[in-house]
Amino acid sequence: MDEDLWSKKRVNDIVRMVKPKKNEQILDLGCGIGVVSLECAKRGSNVLALDFSSNALAKTNMSARKLGVSGKINLVQANADALPLKPSKLTKVVAADLVEHLYPQQFKFMLQECNRALRAGGELHIYTPNPDVNPILVRTIGILERFVKRFKKTTSKISKSISLKDGNGLIVVTGHGKEALAEVLTIFLRQ
């Protein structure tokens, strides 16, 4: 597959997963050069583009200006495991092609930070081509699948809380994302 075509498909898959809406508060963790941030901003979302690399953020800023969406994107230089955000601020968090680069302890702290920063009913979206790389991510998938099975009978919405497509490593936590994430964190904190 042509690399440009693959990149466009990847971004389209992520945006379709996140479903950005006008005026939502979305955090793009490890935004890199900002392709997901830019697509969310073009759809009217208010995006916090977070990355540890000042060079990546500079490229995101330049692209946002060219596309006329710089007013919808705020750049934040920080690590994903220590978010400089107020609690319960965000509607959605997206971590695209990030978690496979984190050590297990960093991933655990990232989940805790996402839980803290998400509003009630908020959503965490993780996209990774290699879900088997991070042992905590593998456990998280299992925990979320059990969470969905346990509550599937009580509400139809929860049945869409997680969808794992083995072919491309797509993980979606939606609908009851914050509650599912709290379940994961409770289990992690007990260990």
Residue 46 has pLDDT above 70, yes or no: yes
Residue for token digits 């790389």? 133
Give the mean model confidence (pLDDT) for residues 162-179. 41
What letter represents residue 44's amino acid?
G
Q: Per the structure, how many domains does the chain have?
A: 1
Give the mean model confidence (pLDDT) for residues 148-159. 42
Helices (H) then strands (E): counts for the chain: 6, 7
CATH number of the domain enclosing 142: 3.40.50.150
Range of the domain at 19: 3-190
Instruction: Give alpha helix (H) positions in the chain.
Output: 3-18, 35-42, 54-67, 104-117, 135-151, 177-190
Residue for token digits 């346990």? 150
Question: Is the distance from CB of 93 to CB of 118 less than 8 angstroms?
Answer: yes
Question: Is the distance from CB of 68 to CB of 2 less than 8 angstroms?
Answer: no
pLDDT averaged over the chain? 77
pLDDT tens per residue, range 87-139: 888 989 999 888 888 888 888 888 888 888 888 778 888 887 666 666 766 66
pTM, two decimal places: 0.77
